[in-house]
Amino acid sequence: MTIDEASTRYNIPLDILREYEGWGLCNAVKKVMGAWQYDDQDIERLSMIMTLHDIGFNSNEVEHYMRLLLEDGNTEAQRLEMLNKKRSTALDEIHFKEMQLDRLDYLRHKIQASGRNNGGK
């Protein structure tokens, strides 16, 4: 299937497909009449790429992760370390947002309490 067909069928942005093509992560040349032809293996890889983007990996991190994934050697520890770092960062962001919510709730509570103390004015 062509880049446009893959983009439409699987709802993958064209920039991600072009990025994937540029990385050269396929095992065989799959160009037909100047257009890349996506197969099931490409779609599986693209699904992983979309997941990595969705969880906050930037393009360089995605490419590095995918290269590790496709290496013949044992890269599980390296990939797990990348995922653990991303998870830790996400937890830090969640905790920061929780603190923001606590502060917002405190300010809301002060306003509401002040309104009750002033007779609702």
CATH number at residue 1: 1.10.1660.10
Residues 84, 60 within the same domain: no
Tell me the whole-structure pTM to 2 decimals: 0.71
Domain that holds residue 107: 74-121
Residues in the chain predicted with pLDDT less than 70, given as ranges, are 25-36, 119-121
Residues 78, 40 within the same domain: no
Residues 29, 68 within the same domain: yes
Residues 15, 64 within the same domain: yes
CA angle 19, 21, 23 (to 5 degrees): 70
Q: How high is the pLDDT of residue 70?
A: 86
Residues 23, 62 within the same domain: yes
CA distance 39 to 9: 13
Q: How high is the pLDDT of residue 31?
A: 62
The last residue of a domain, from among 58, 73, 88: 73
Q: What contacts 52, CB < 8 A, 6 or more positions away?
A: 61, 62, 65, 66
Q: How high is the pLDDT of residue 75?
A: 94
Total domains, the chain: 2
Q: How high is the pLDDT of residue 29?
A: 46
Q: How high is the pLDDT of residue 71?
A: 84
Q: How high is the pLDDT of residue 16?
A: 81
Residues 33-51 have pLDDT tens digits of 566 677 788 888 888 988 9
